[in-house]
């Protein structure tokens, strides 16, 4: 396999598309989660990996987690991704209010406080509403 073919496979044919073998659109995955095995597998893998990264970075920061911010198309719009990902992070004290998560309209920030670590929050916010930063963030 050529380098170009490998690059195409990794950047264009993997992720949700590779797992569903249908589409890379998270809306398909969320809409078909209950009925189609490919969509369930894709969502479960996606949320497992997201939770794994959040947990790993939290460990690297000695457990000092101030916020988990969901932004971008999937982060803003996919309540299922937020709920399933944070649901795997109960050890960090996250509890998801199912009704508030589902009812979080686009352009509205929903801030949720952890039960065990009241200083840590998670929120969903539209990408365009963030101002640029002069310093990098992890």
Q: Is residue 28 part of a domain?
A: yes
- DSSP run (H or E) holding 45: helix 37-60
Residue 50 has pLDDT above 90, yes or no: yes
Q: Is residue 137 part of a domain?
A: no
Domain assignment present for residue 138? The answer is no
Positive or negative: CA dihedral 44, 55, 50, 110: positive
Instruction: State the pLDDT confidence band at 115, using cuts at 50, 70 and 90.
Output: low
pLDDT in tens, 8-47: 888 788 888 788 888 888 889 999 999 999 999 999 999 9
Phi–psi pair at 59, nearest 5 degrees: -65, -40
Compute how many other C-beta atoms are within 10 angstroms of the C-beta atom of residue 79.
19
Instruction: Provide the mean pLDDT of the chain.
Output: 78
- How many Cβ atoms are within 10 Å of 12's Cβ, its own excluded? 11
Residue 134 belongs to some domain of the structure: no
What pLDDT, on a 0 to 100 scale, did the predictor assign at position 28?
92
Q: What is the mean pLDDT of residues 111-118?
A: 53
36 lies in some domain: yes
Q: In what order do the strands lie in the sheet with 110-113?
A: 67-70, 121-124, 110-113
> Residue 136 falls within a domain, yes or no?
no
List, in order, residues 6 or more apart from 59 with CB less than 8 Å away: none
pTM, full prediction: 0.74
* pLDDT over threshold 70, residue 2: yes
Percent residues over pLDDT 90 in the chain: 31
Going by the DSSP 8-state scheme, the letter that residue 128 receives in this structure is: G
CATH number, residue 40: 3.30.420.40
- pLDDT for residue 132: 43
- Give the range of the structural domain holding residue 72, as residue numbers without chain letter: 3-129
Looking at the domain assignment, is residue 60 inside a domain? yes
Query: For the chain, what is the domain count?
Result: 1
* DSSP H or E run through 121: strand 121-124
135 lies in a domain?
Answer: no
């Amino acid at each position: 396999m050529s380098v170009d073919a490998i690059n195409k496979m990794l950047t264009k044919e993997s992720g949700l598309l590779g797992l569903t073998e249908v589409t890379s659109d998270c809306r398909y995955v969320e809409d078909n989660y209950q009925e189609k095995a490919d969509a369930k597998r894709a969502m479960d893998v996606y949320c497992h990996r997201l939770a794994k990264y959040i947990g790993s970075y939290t460990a690297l920061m000695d457990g000092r987690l101030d916020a988990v911010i969901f932004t971008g198309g999937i982060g803003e719009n996919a309540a299922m991704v937020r709920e399933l990902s944070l649901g795997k992070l109960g050890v960090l004290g996250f509890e998801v209010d199912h009704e508030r998560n589902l009812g979080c309209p686009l352009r509205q920030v929903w801030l949720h406080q952890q039960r065990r670590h009241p200083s840590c929050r998670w929120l969903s916010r539209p990408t365009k509403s963030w101002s640029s930063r002069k310093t990098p963030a992890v």
